[in-house]
Structure 1
Amino acid sequence: MDFGILGTLEARAEGRRLSIGGRRAQLAMAALLLRPGRVVPVDQLMAVLWEDWPPASARTQVSIVMSGLRRTFRAAGSESEIIETRDAGYRLRSERVRIDTLTAERRVTEARRAMREGRTVEAARGLRAALALWRGPVLGGLDVPGFAAPIRRWEELRWRMAEELAEAELALGHHHEQIGDLTSLVAEAPYNERVRALLMTALARAGRQADALAVYRDGRRVLDEELGLEPGRALRELHAAILRDDPAVGGPDGPARPAPGIRPAQLPQAVASFTGRRAEMDALDSLPPDRDRGSDRHLAICAITGVAGVGKTGLALHWAHRAATQFPDGQLYADLRGSRGEAGGDGPASANVVLQRFLRALGVATADIPDDPEEQAAMYRSLLQGRRMLVVLDDADSAAQVRPLLPGSHACCVVVTSRAPLEELIAHAGARPLPLAPLSRDAASELLRRVAGDALASASPAEIDHLAEHCGRLPLALRTAAARLAARPRPAGDGLPAPRHEASVEALEACGCG
């Protein structure tokens, strides 16, 4: 059986529309459909059916309504119970029926995954299919207070999907086709600045800059007169970009083209109180290519590897900031999330998703980025050809993840960090291995002193060395332990207590290094 609430309440059995019954039966069925697979308590059903004043016989009448619904579904050919009684309530067995809301959620999830992975055509197709499930206002004609919040949730999802579809279509270069739909959306929600920006972008790319500017002026007037607000920063910046004919917006009958002079500077902040690693810094200093060498030079790659918390990222970023002036064309950075799977997270980043981010950072409009991952990689290599650029790929999962992100130009330099040994990258791409060991005893103690500050002022060298050893001389554990000590005020003259000081123990447990 099929049920729908994305419009008027609807039930079908083998394609034939069913009459659910009177208003109370419809309200009860809608309450179950809004919480598919979950128990809806009888008290909640009573509140929906009678709002503030349920009669004394309300519980009995709820039971009668449910029995009537079950008879309707059995008469329509249902071979199993769709509604079950459980825990002083009723549950719609969602595994035995099809519901338009669950279909919409599945389609939008698949479409968003496709968009993240660069399959824009597939994403747009999925979003269109999801939006097509809406037949009108959610549960049209069944307006009761108990339905307000879930109805609002589904209407907000419809809006988000409409926005995401418009973005996908613009990315595909379908700006002419989107103008009509976006105009209607702006009229329906004049305060929605995201939709207004999409309409302005579509008009600008269609060569209608004057109309795009008029859309901005109208939005600014509405916000000022009705809310007393100015447009947000993103909308103001888009307006300014259209005024100056910025290539990043796009010209007549075409999406945006790479803007000249783009120099990305994506390096995150370097770690504070960096300590030790002189030999490793020297090795990295010898990495950048010599501009006077011939064209036979291979791409310079360094693979910094080691266990969790050993300071791979800290070393990479400390050196990258120091060496940034050697790369006048910019620095690209990506967290490849290679260790996320181990921590139960989202898992490693897709290489072609990272490629798309890099291409946008290099000035390529989303609409100009190919859907095919191999074409994306080829465009990336073409844009970096002959440019002196540093690429930092942090927390790589494997050589396979890194390989599409390598420039082809020997003028570039790549630094990769990973818990894995990346032997394939070393063997086939010529990466220089730089395995990290824990800090030396002196460096570990120095790092504790620098981060903890006055908290260790009265501690003896033996006590500090003992704490460093308990931290495994791993920079992450050392920093965490020192930070916890620094954050805990202690009486004057109090040295570091016994080696298993509770601050260091908690720090070690938090880092998984105890």
Structure 2
Amino acid sequence: MRSVLAILMLTPRTLVPTDVLIDRVWDTRPPAKARESLSVYITRLRAALRQAIGESVRLTGRDSGYELDVDPETIDLHQFRRLRRQADVLAADSDCERAVSLLGEADRLWRGQAFAGIRGDWVARMRDSLDEERRAAILKRIECELELGRHADLVGELRHLLAQYPLDEAFIAHQMTALYGSGRPGEALSLYRDIRSCLVEEQGTEPGPLLAELHQRILRHDPGLAVRPGSLRQYSPHQGRVSRPDTLPPETAEFVGRSAELELLTRQHGLSREHGDTPQISVIEGMAGVGKTTLAVHAARAVAGQYPDGAFYLNLHTHDPGHPSLDADEALHRLLRMLTAPATEIPDAFGERAALLRA
């Protein structure tokens, strides 16, 4: 049952075909009556969700599969990915201070190993993939902190990370850089010698180009390794927007059967951009559960390159019995937070919030 819930939470508000669920739950060893067993799991899961959180999350099923109707922002993985996307934009815009803040917030969402206690080959592969996402986010944060000149502060943390990733050359390079920037070049060189000896003895190989080049730069006291504290760019009405924030929900591989509608939506936006800057509004209507949100997200992803200022997703919860509808004040507050405006700098008055968003 936990496996089914985990699979559905990876792609919220998206229909997951029954065959896909069976393959992921039982790998290559499904029971003789896999569909019946899956149906039992779904029934139990639906009852457990109802008992735990009421009707705010709905698990719906059709002949072709099942869908978990839940706001992605209530799932830690999708929060993590959104924060990481926003941080990447900030880092690309040289706003390392705020990128570090978002990446730290993203890492704090991890409360242990992904899919802890759930077995299976597919789950194991997905767990490794998610662990790699976290590793990449940690590396990016440390890279940004080095740009900010926080070498001495990172030495202790990197020592713990090297215990977790003992032969990871990216972390080793960051530790050598942190040591050198902290006035400890001897320790940086000693770390390189220790790692080299370990690689030669255990794997019969030399350190890669990244470490080898860094080793040479330290030996010749390369000025490029000197600590240069990064600048802190504060949010303001005139320069608070990041180069390209993106809060769209994640796409899913299972999106099929909407090519005509997707082409219509994307073509309309393309024509609108060709004939001026008049905003283009598209309305998608249909019964609950038919995939309106998924279609909208795919269309938004397809035309996102035409909107360099950003792409935003805001759920107003107007027909969601599990959540109160957003009023205009709260909607503006959430949009400003998507722009990474500090909560303490968002005004209380509606008019002032609207003016800040337009600035």
Return the TM-score normalized by structure 1: 0.43
Secondary structure of 1:33's aligned partner: helix
Report the aligned-residue RMSD: 2.6
What are the Cα deviations for residues 336-390 of structure 1, in whole angstroms up to 9, with x where unaligned?
xxxxxx9957859xxxxxxxxxxxxxxxxxxxxxxxxxxxxxxxxxxxxxxxxxx
1-structure distance, mates of 2:135, 2:215: 23
Determine which of 173, 176, 180 is the counterpart of 1:200.
176
Residue in structure 2 matched with residue 157 of structure 1 by the alignment: 133
Matches within 5 A, 1:164-313: 164-250=140-226, 254-255=227-228
Residue in structure 1 matched with residue 71 of structure 2 by the alignment: 95
- The one-letter code matched in structure 1 to 2:222 is D
- The one-letter code matched in structure 2 to 1:246 is D
What is the Cα deviation at residue 222 of structure 1?
Answer: 2.3
Change over 3 Å in CA distance of 1:210–1:199 after alignment to 2? same
What is the Cα deviation at residue 178 of structure 1?
Answer: 0.5
What are the Cα deviations for residues 181-212 of structure 1, in whole angstroms up to 9, with x where unaligned?
11122222233211111100000011111110
> Is contact 1:33–1:92 with CA below 8 Å preserved after alignment?
yes
Matches within 5 A, 1:451-490: none
Secondary structure of 2:8's aligned partner: helix
What is the Cα deviation at residue 127 of structure 1?
Answer: 0.5
> Is contact 1:114–1:120 with CA below 8 Å preserved after alignment?
yes
1-structure distance, mates of 2:101, 2:166: 26
Secondary structure of 1:76's aligned partner: helix
2-structure distance, mates of 1:344, 1:133: 29
Q: Does 1:45 align with 2:42?
A: no
What is the Cα deviation at residue 81 of structure 1?
Answer: 5.0
Change over 3 Å in CA distance of 1:226–1:75 after alignment to 2? same
> Is contact 1:34–1:150 with CA below 8 Å preserved after alignment?
no
Residue in structure 1 matched with residue 291 of structure 2 by the alignment: none
> Is contact 2:60–2:69 with CA below 8 Å preserved after alignment?
yes
Using the TM superposition, name which of 224-233 and 161-170 deviates more: 224-233
1-structure distance, mates of 2:34, 2:66: 15
What are the Cα deviations for residues 391-446 of structure 1, in whole angstroms up to 9, with x where unaligned?
xxxxxxxxxxxxxxxxxxxxxxxxxxxxxxxxxxxxxxxxxxxxxxxxxxxxxxxx
Change over 3 Å in CA distance of 1:239–1:206 after alignment to 2? same
> Is contact 2:73–2:79 with CA below 8 Å preserved after alignment?
no
1-structure distance, mates of 2:113, 2:151: 27
Change over 3 Å in CA distance of 1:210–1:31 after alignment to 2? same
What is the Cα deviation at residue 122 of structure 1?
Answer: 0.3
Change over 3 Å in CA distance of 1:87–1:215 after alignment to 2? farther
Residue in structure 1 matched with residue 336 of structure 2 by the alignment: none
> Is contact 2:176–2:188 with CA below 8 Å preserved after alignment?
yes
2-structure distance, mates of 1:256, 1:234: 23
Matches within 5 A, 1:114-125: 114-125=90-101
What is the Cα deviation at residue 53 of structure 1?
Answer: 3.7
Secondary structure of 1:248's aligned partner: helix
- The one-letter code matched in structure 2 to 1:199 is Q
Q: Does 1:109 align with 2:46?
A: no
Determine which of 56, 62, 87 is the counterpart of 2:38.
62
Change over 3 Å in CA distance of 1:115–1:45 after alignment to 2? same
Matches within 5 A, 1:1-80: 25-80=1-56
Change over 3 Å in CA distance of 1:101–1:77 after alignment to 2? closer
- The one-letter code matched in structure 2 to 1:110 is Q
Residue in structure 1 matched with residue 117 of structure 2 by the alignment: 141
- The one-letter code matched in structure 2 to 1:35 is T
What is the Cα deviation at residue 77 of structure 1?
Answer: 4.1
What is the Cα deviation at residue 241 of structure 1?
Answer: 1.5
What are the Cα deviations for residues 75-97 of structure 1, in whole angstroms up to 9, with x where unaligned?
23433552111352111224376
Determine which of 124, 127, 130 is the counterpart of 2:103.
127
Secondary structure of 1:84's aligned partner: strand
> Is contact 2:142–2:174 with CA below 8 Å preserved after alignment?
yes
> Is contact 2:61–2:67 with CA below 8 Å preserved after alignment?
yes
- State the identity as a percent: 35
What are the Cα deviations for residues 471-491 of structure 1, in whole angstroms up to 9, with x where unaligned?
xxxxxxxxxxxxxxxxxxxxx
Secondary structure of 1:92's aligned partner: strand
Change over 3 Å in CA distance of 1:346–1:167 after alignment to 2? farther
> Is contact 1:82–1:96 with CA below 8 Å preserved after alignment?
no
2-structure distance, mates of 1:62, 1:97: 27
1-structure distance, mates of 2:307, 2:131: 28
Q: Does 1:86 align with 2:74?
A: no
Gaps of 5+ in 1: 1-24, 258-341, 349-514
- The one-letter code matched in structure 2 to 1:195 is F
More helix by share: 2
1-structure distance, mates of 2:14, 2:149: 43
- The one-letter code matched in structure 2 to 1:123 is A
2-structure distance, mates of 1:133, 1:173: 26
Change over 3 Å in CA distance of 1:110–1:75 after alignment to 2? same
What are the Cα deviations for residues 141-184 of structure 1, in whole angstroms up to 9, with x where unaligned?
11310212322221111111111111111111111111111112
